[in-house]
Structure 1
Amino acid sequence: MPALQSFGTDYRALVIGSTGALGRAFCAQLRADPGCALVTELSRQSTPALDLADPPSIAAAAQALAGQGPYQLILLATGLLHAPGLAPEKSMSAIEADALQRVFQVNSLGPALVMRHFLPLLAADGALAVLSAKVGSIADNRLGGWYAYRASKAALNMLLKTAAIEHARQHPQARLLSLHPGTVISPLSQPFRGAANARPAAQAAAELLKVVDHRTAADSGGFFAYNGERLPW
């Protein structure tokens, strides 16, 4: 991957969700960039630990890392689509309150708290990017189904957009971006149709970092695919 150009020299990066397929790939790509002076990893297994289902851990992790900031790049590489006892709904009759709450906690509520607690650690001209999904686009929804995942990612997009508007009032040079990674070889995509055409995580990470690198403050609050295409809400 070519060196990132928009963060200057000796930039600092933070990857939240560093044990997932894309999180690990982001960390590897950033460590290979000679311009990156520090890559800090956060996950449920890190020290400090950060668990999106445990709100106090989010605040505690941000407080613990405050002395390392500011970060020029913060990546939230997390998402929940399925798990034991949890699968995407094929119809409205499959909607369950517990499943909705579980998915929203990881895909929407936790990320909202990440933005609350970690945006103060972002450099004034830095970039924060979250992993969304094209199926979270309301305008692009043509198939239905996947209620919890679609709705939680649509909520994430709104939270990111709203945070970008507020953040720009004091930091007009910052970039807050919502990213669609496409189908990536990972445990998240493995059970589903289309996984056979999935891209390696290393390729996807390089593509997404290129998108972030090429965006400007004018793009803050935007929703972009891995190929740079701006996606509809």
Structure 2
Amino acid sequence: MKHTEQQRTVLLLGASRGIGLGLVTEYLARGWRVIATQRSLTVAPALCELAADADGALTILSADIDRPDDIAALARRLEGITLDLLFVVAGVSDDPNQTIGQISTDEFTRVMVTNALSPLRAIERLAEHVRADGSIAVMSSALGSVAGNTTGGYEAYRASKAALNMLMRSYAARAGGNRSLLALMPGWVKTDMGGPDAPVEVKDSTAGLADTIEKHAGQPGLVFVDYQDNQIAW
């Protein structure tokens, strides 16, 4: 696939495996130019395979979302590139059975920093490369819904995604402009994080996410929806 003036560009932060890797596959299949990041300096074999068949449409860069210097370096690498979509996919989980009274301070900090602080820091730093009417998305979760929490469990993870949603709402109010902003729930997906019993295949989740982003493209404001574009209560 050769680049054209009409070819759209997406930056996927956290794309070496799972849903992130699936999104690389999905956007390449849709004819997009894809810039994918991973934490390791050694390129993941799956990304290497995709790059070999992408005819130059896939660029793989190293960046740890938790390291502001990495994000600053990434911003410099993007000089002269205009993004149609910035999608922060990276995230971590913890033991879902661990209550807030049991979790260590270090573990709580790790989950909150990676799932809430780092995504918004990245958006703040990289938004200048996104078209004025482009799209910015973060990978949220229905577990981050305050209104929807009627069962408990996943306490630190829920808190981190609720914090992510709140920070996205603050960003939307302060700097959203004409961009489409999305907090996205990928579904319970069969990945290392989701586990083998998850009912949603990666390819179905990523196709739905891409369709949902496309549906909201050009519509200013923030939405909290799942991969099938169903609204989720904040």
Tell me, in whole angstroms, the C-alpha distance in 1 between the residues paired with 2:220 and 2:142.
18
Q: Which residue of 2 is the match for residue 100 of structure 1? A: 108
Task: Determine the structure 2 residue equivalent to 1:4.
Answer: none
TM-score normalized with structure 2 length: 0.84
Q: Which amino acid aligns with 2:122?
A: V
Q: Which runs of structure 2 are paired with 1:13-52 in the superposition (5 Å)?
A: 13-34=10-31, 36=32, 38-45=33-40, 48-52=61-65
Structure 2: distance between partners of 1:207 and 1:39: 18
Give the TM-score normalised by structure 1.
Answer: 0.85
| 2: CA distance, partners of 1:139 / 1:15 | 29
| Aligned positions of 1:183-198 closer than 5 A | 183-190=188-195, 195-198=196-199
Superposed, 1:85-164 pairs within 5 Å as: 87-164=95-172
Task: Tell me if structure 1 keeps the 8 A contact 2:184–2:209.
Answer: yes
Corresponding position: 1:77 with 2:85 = no
Summarize deviations over 1:81-135 as a string: whole Å, max 9, x none: 13xxxx2344343132111101011101110111111111101111111100100
Instruction: Report the counterpart of residue 204 of structure 1 in structure 2.
Output: 205
- Residue 222 of structure 2 aligns to a residue whose secondary structure is coil
> CA offset at residue 54 of structure 1?
1.6
Query: Which structure carries more relative contact order (alpha carbon 8 Å, separation 6+)?
Result: 1
Query: How large is the Cα RMSD of the aligned pairs?
Result: 1.8
Query: Which residue identity is paired with 1:161?
Result: R
Structure 2 gap ranges (5+): 42-59
Shift of 1:13: 1.1
Residue 218 of structure 1 deviates from its aligned partner by 4.5
Percent identity (aligned): 28
Amino acid paired to 1:182: G
Gaps of 5+ in 1: 1-7
- For this pair of structures, how many residues does the alignment match? 212
